Chain A
Amino acid sequence: MTTTPSPFDLSNIQWRMPEWVQSVGGLRTENVLDYFSFSPFYDHKSNNQMLKMQSQFNALDLGDLNNHLRRLTGTQFVVTHERPPFLWIIQKQHRLNEQEVKPLSTYFVCNENIYMAPNAYTLLATRMLNATHSLQTALKKIENIPQYHPQEGYTYPQKISDNPSSQGKDLQETNKNENTNAENNVDYTFSAEDFSVVRAFMMSLQSLHNPAQTPSNP
């Protein structure tokens, strides 16, 4: 493969050149490859570059370009999909002969931005890796908290959070809000039994209300 060794990963960058787009008065299918040629995705050893050099003086339209490219072998950039004025998909391909072509990678121009189309495997694998990693982190965080005892089973020891009074005064001031929040949290942790009477009372109220409502409904 004769691709230029990329100095940095091109798969996760976005490239744009709004001033060029403004100077040509918007992107069109005719000039999108020119726009692409300024980007780091472009390969200067490609057939496109060669044709560009050759046809520097006699203007070449797009149909001619594709015809010329078909006769050449090597790395080429072609527009495979177009939906002006926002989206073009450009494929980098290796042409073996006039019929056969080997696709290398895909780029898309969307709203003047050029992205490299993601590799499905890489993308999905990365997502899975992220998910696995966060699960692993979560497990690692809590794996040491429950304590096992044969008589009591697994228990979660409640650490008594020591007041940060020993930490210093200005710290206390900055932490004031956090602390009050934490204290409130502690206050709100009622056990289920605390409300059992109340809940029973509410249930009885509901059962009182329901028969009163049902006759009015029909």
Chain B
Amino acid sequence: MDEHSAQDENNKMDTTPLPVSLNPEVIESRNLAPEIELPQIFQKIVQERGNFRDLDETELEKQLEEEEDSSKAFSGKQDPYYGFTILPSQQEGNDVSQNSMNIHDYKKELVDYILIAQNECSLALDMTSLLLSKYKQSSSDTISPFLKSTVPPGSLGLERCHPPEAKESDSILAMCWKRKSLTSSKNLLFDAKERLSKVVDSEREYFQILSNVRDSSWPLVLSNKGGNYDVSVQYSALGGISLGLGLVRKDQEKQSYNFESGLVHQKASLRVDLVSSTGKIIASSKWNWSWGIQEEEDQLLVKIQSAQRVLLEMDVWNALLQEAQICENQGVVFTGDTIVLSCNPEFSLRIFLDTNTEESRQDPEADFLNVDQEEEYDYETKKLSQRCCDAVNAITHILFLQYCRNPNRKLQQAELAMVIDASAPQIIRPLIFYYAIHEEARQFQNWLQNEGIKFEYLPSYPWESAQDFLTFENFLLTNRLSLQWYLDLDSSLPAHIQHNPTLHGTEKTVWKYKDAYNFYKFSSVKNMCQYIEHARKQRGEVASNAIQE
């Protein structure tokens, strides 16, 4: 059935005078075999019009229109010279392709030339091998396989003959060739000298800059990267946790030297925000390094310094994140980019790494720009909260320095037993610790005031006795505090309370109550308050009894 219909179609086709097939058999067979192989069709289409990959409908439509246009225009172009007009444009096209050659084209061409040379040599080898195979069996091994299969060995002969005439042009050619190649080698050497001396100049400049860098006491590190030696600057030289190496590279366009640090951020600084419960920023402090930058210095050194600062800030941030993971029981909530300390229901401290590239101004008022303008806080409160943020930020950095100072520090055995993760930095925990002590003390004070008890509060913080900065740092980490309270309970009975809060351990806070009769330990202020109330009541009863008697 199919064949019949196909033949019918063929007959129909034949009735139309055009297009006349030059090879009717082929067309017939194609019609007779409609299930022509798909891979072949694909091959043909790809060959004709490229891949399907960047094919879309609009392009096809455009092409169709173009084809229609060209078929209309074709009648006009049907002159005998039509084919020749293509030739010059083709030549131009070749020129274009030569101009914009890329490496792969060069490689292809190189391979082509080498193939030509190889072909020539193997032809010569074929000939000589064939010639020699007449006299020596083994020489036929070097004949190419095709030649070996078609030509019997020993089929080439040789005979003595008169040497060919020496042509005059040969000697001229030889002389000119030699002269030309000598000249060209001279030019090549000169060019190479020019180029290399330029390279050496730029290298001298580079090493001059490197030695500048080294003179300003940045350590240089020689690193071997895939056989190439790179001199990199260790910009984390002054401290921090991670090692920062950066390369000094020449910027070809600007003709200046760049410092490639591999850091993600151009600028980074730790920012501490005091956020109210409604989510408004009351105060914020952005850590600002005020040391070491001298604008009149080398631009490159400034870049290295800023890279160092960024890396240090990132280290601080990472240390904070690391610590935040073990501080969840102390109300620390963290995501990847913020840490929220919410010790107080009213406020929370939000710490994050500010990578804003905008240059914040040096004056402290600039920080107020970040703060939401709120009417409910007066200037003094704002100033105070600002100072709080600044202090938190500063102490964070100080504690980080302390952490860096002995990265593999050995905790005391007793301390070690109480610490979950010994290697974690201690930055957030002391902060929370001191804040919690303060809160507790304030609570107690409030209670005492409400009860009308006279008291004397004698806190002795360890850093008060710090002689220098180093001891100050160490004292910030002191595990034990001793806070003294002197209470004047009724009728001149003094009570002495010793408050020994600790940073680690199950006994977070210990209140030791001591008066003339009793010595008790309480684990919380609440319990102690209850006891004091009880004691006062007892005392009152005793006193009233005494009066009755």
Interface residue ranges, A against B (CB under 8 Å): 11, 80-81, 89, 91, 94, 102-106, 117, 119-124, 127-128, 130-132, 134-135, 137-138, 141-143, 145, 148-153, 156, 158-159, 161-162, 164, 167, 170-171, 174-175, 177-178, 180-182, 184-186, 189
Q: Which of B50, B92, B158, B161 has the most CB of A within 10 A?
A: B161
A149 to B90, CA, bound (A): 39
Which residue from chain A places its CB closest to the CB of B51 in the assembled complex?
A: A184
- Which B residues from 74 to 104 make CB contacts under 8 A with A? 86, 89-90, 92-93, 96-97, 100-104
Complex partner residue of A170 from B50, B89, B96, B196, CB under 8 angstroms: B89
Which A-B residue pairs are the 10 nearest by beta carbons?
Answer: A138-B113, A127-B124, A161-B100, A131-B117, A131-B120, A104-B162, A134-B116, A130-B120, A134-B117, A134-B113
**Contact present for B102 and A159 (CB under 8 Å):** yes
Complex partner residue of B160 from A103, A128, A138, A180, CB under 8 angstroms: A103
**Contact present for A141 and B113 (CB under 8 Å):** yes
**Contact present for A178 and B121 (CB under 8 Å):** no
- Which B residues from 322 to 345 make CB contacts under 8 A with A? none
A153 to B224, CA, bound (A): 13
- Tell me which residues across on chain B come within 8 A of A11, comparing CB atoms: 164
**Contact present for A80 and B103 (CB under 8 Å):** no
Complex partner residue of B113 from A137, A151, A153, CB under 8 angstroms: A137
Which residue from chain B places its CB closest to the CB of A148 in the assembled complex?
A: B199
A182 to B198, CA, bound (A): 35
B127 at the interface (CB under 8 A from A): yes
**Contact present for B100 and A162 (CB under 8 Å):** yes
**Contact present for B228 and A152 (CB under 8 Å):** yes
Q: Mark B126-164, 1 if CB is under 8 A from A, else 0.
A: 011001000000000000000000000000011111111
Q: Which of B110, B114, B162, B227 has the most CB of A within 10 A?
A: B162
Complex partner residue of B228 from A142, A151, A156, A177, CB under 8 angstroms: A151
B194 at the interface (CB under 8 A from A): no
Which residue from chain B places its CB closest to the CB of A177 in the assembled complex?
A: B50
- Tell me which residues across on chain B come within 8 A of A142, comparing CB atoms: 106, 110
- Given A131-B120, A148-B196: A103 and B230 interface contact (C-beta under 8 Å): no
- What is the interface residue range for chain B against chain A? 35 or more
Complex partner residue of A134 from B120, B128, B157, B206, CB under 8 angstroms: B120
**Contact present for B86 and A105 (CB under 8 Å):** no
- Given A119-B164, A174-B89: A159 and B158 interface contact (C-beta under 8 Å): no
**Contact present for B113 and A135 (CB under 8 Å):** yes
Min distance, Cβ A146 to any Cβ of chain B, angstroms:
10
- Tell me which residues across on chain A come within 8 A of B103, comparing CB atoms: 145, 156, 158-159
Complex partner residue of B109 from A119, A120, A138, CB under 8 angstroms: A138
**Contact present for A178 and B93 (CB under 8 Å):** yes
A156 to B177, CA, bound (A): 30
A104 to B163, CA, bound (A): 8
Interface residue ranges, B against A (CB under 8 Å): 50-51, 86, 89-90, 92-93, 96-97, 100-104, 106, 109-110, 113-114, 116-118, 120-121, 123-124, 127-128, 131, 157-164, 188, 196, 199, 203, 206, 227-228, 230
Min distance, Cβ A155 to any Cβ of chain B, angstroms:
10
**Contact present for A151 and B230 (CB under 8 Å):** yes
**Contact present for B90 and A174 (CB under 8 Å):** yes
A147 to B543, CA, bound (A): 103
- Tell me which residues across on chain A come within 8 A of B227, comparing CB atoms: 153
- Given A141-B113, A149-B199: A185 and B160 interface contact (C-beta under 8 Å): no
- Tell me which residues across on chain A come within 8 A of B106, comparing CB atoms: 141-142, 145
- Tell me which residues across on chain A come within 8 A of B230, comparing CB atoms: 151
Min distance, Cβ A141 to any Cβ of chain B, angstroms:
6
**Contact present for A80 and B164 (CB under 8 Å):** no
- Tell me which residues across on chain A come within 8 A of B113, comparing CB atoms: 134-135, 137-138, 141
**Contact present for A171 and B114 (CB under 8 Å):** no
**Contact present for B159 and A91 (CB under 8 Å):** yes
Complex partner residue of A167 from B96, B114, B157, CB under 8 angstroms: B96
**Contact present for B161 and A127 (CB under 8 Å):** no
- Given A131-B120, A171-B89: A180 and B159 interface contact (C-beta under 8 Å): no
Complex partner residue of A103 from B109, B116, B162, B206, CB under 8 angstroms: B162
Complex partner residue of B159 from A117, A121, A131, A134, CB under 8 angstroms: A117
A11 to B89, CA, bound (A): 39
- Tell me which residues across on chain A come within 8 A of B93, comparing CB atoms: 171, 174-175, 178
Min distance, Cβ B93 to any Cβ of chain A, angstroms:
5
Which residue from chain B places its CB closest to the CB of A123 in the assembled complex?
A: B127
